[in-house]
């Protein structure tokens, strides 16, 4: 004979374990394959946008650990500098640099590229990682809807301004962080800038679809150049990207 609370607790523990295992297996499934090859990236130059936190920071850290030269392109220089120091301390790689890049300003994009080209004459990998998600309706400095402007237009200009260096450094590559949300997206030609109506989810999906369409077209145009272009869906990752989404503004996820 069991005490009532003990009898009740056992099924709860069982269900908690089942749910925990299910979540773990789902995460492993969605994560896909893991790159485990130990490569040496010494002598190669990388740019990672939004490298002060989340996926961008982990990418910059891993590149630095493998000996690459990393340019951390970020809007918030205080956070970028802190992340840079942490990466250097962990990897002992001094070739990690923080540079200002505000993707909501086309002028800032041009200034970043001009500064980079003064320092480097080669670029092996460009990682277009930075992004915003489901933010309130805002406009970039150039008047674009913020999600489309940062996630697509800013990176579109950045990539095109760096193509000459990428081609000269071939074999090289461009990596575009998109999202599975692109499958829910549509390019609203009648209201591309969301001036008539604004839905934060639809605007985000449109920007991610723009990422994928840009990737596909650019890959075609660069065939034979030695520059490859790929887009990826990073899966479910605990980053600050969802900081504007009310669903995640709870104690369940520490953002």
pLDDT score, position 86: 98
Distant-in-sequence, close-in-space partners of 59: CB < 8 Å, separation ≥ 6: 48, 51, 127, 129
The pTM score is 0.82
The answer to whether the peptide bond before residue 171 is cis (omega within 30 degrees of 0) is yes
Whether 236 shows a pLDDT value over 70: the answer reads no
Q: What is the percent of the chain with per-residue pLDDT over 90, rounded to a whole number?
A: 71
Q: Which of 24, 29, 198, 204 is catalytic?
A: 204
DSSP character string of 78-121: HHHHHHHHHHHHHH----EEEEE--TT-HHHHHHHHHHHHHH-S
At 19 the three-state DSSP class reads helix
Q: What average pLDDT is seen over the chain?
A: 87
For residue range 166-215, list pLDDT tens digits in order.
999 999 999 999 887 877 878 999 999 999 999 999 999 999 999 999 99
Confidence of residue 35 (pLDDT cuts 50, 70, 90): confident
Domains (ranges, CATH) in the chain? 101-248 (3.40.50.720)
Alpha helices of 171-228 — where are they, by DSSP H? 200-221
Choice between 149 and 247, residue whose per-residue pLDDT is larger: 149
198 is catalytic: no
Give the end-to-end CA distance of the chain in Å, rounded to a whole number: 45
């Amino acid at each position: 004979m069991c005490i009532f609370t003990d009898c009740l607790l056992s099924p709860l523990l069982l269900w908690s374990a089942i749910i925990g295992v299910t979540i773990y297996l789902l995460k492993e499934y969605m994560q896909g394959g893991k790159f485990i090859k130990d490569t040496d990236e010494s002598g190669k130059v990388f740019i990672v946008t939004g490298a002060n936190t989340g996926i961008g920071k982990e990418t910059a850290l891993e590149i630095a650990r493998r000996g690459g030269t990393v340019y951390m392109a970020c809007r918030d220089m205080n956070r970028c500098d802190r992340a840079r120091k942490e990466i250097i301390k962990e990897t002992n790689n001094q070739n990690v640099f923080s540079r200002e890049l505000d993707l909501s300003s086309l002028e800032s994009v041009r200034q970043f590229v001009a500064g980079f080209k003064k320092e480097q004459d080669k670029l092996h990998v460009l990682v277009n990682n930075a992004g915003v998600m489901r933010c309130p309706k805002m406009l970039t400095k150039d008047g674009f809807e913020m999600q489309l402007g940062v996630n697509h237009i800013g990176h579109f200009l950045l990539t095109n301004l760096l193509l000459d260096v990428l081609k000269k450094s071939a074999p090289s590559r461009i990596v575009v962080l998109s999202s599975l949300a692109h499958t829910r997206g549509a390019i609203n030609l009648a209201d591309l800038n969301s001036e008539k109506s604004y839905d934060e989810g639809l605007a985000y999906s449109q920007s991610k679809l723009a990422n994928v369409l840009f990737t596909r077209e650019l890959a075609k145009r660069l065939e034979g150049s030695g520059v490859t272009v790929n887009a990826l869906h990073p899966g479910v990752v605990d980053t600050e990207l969802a900081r504007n989404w009310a669903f995640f503004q709870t104690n369940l996820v520490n953002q």
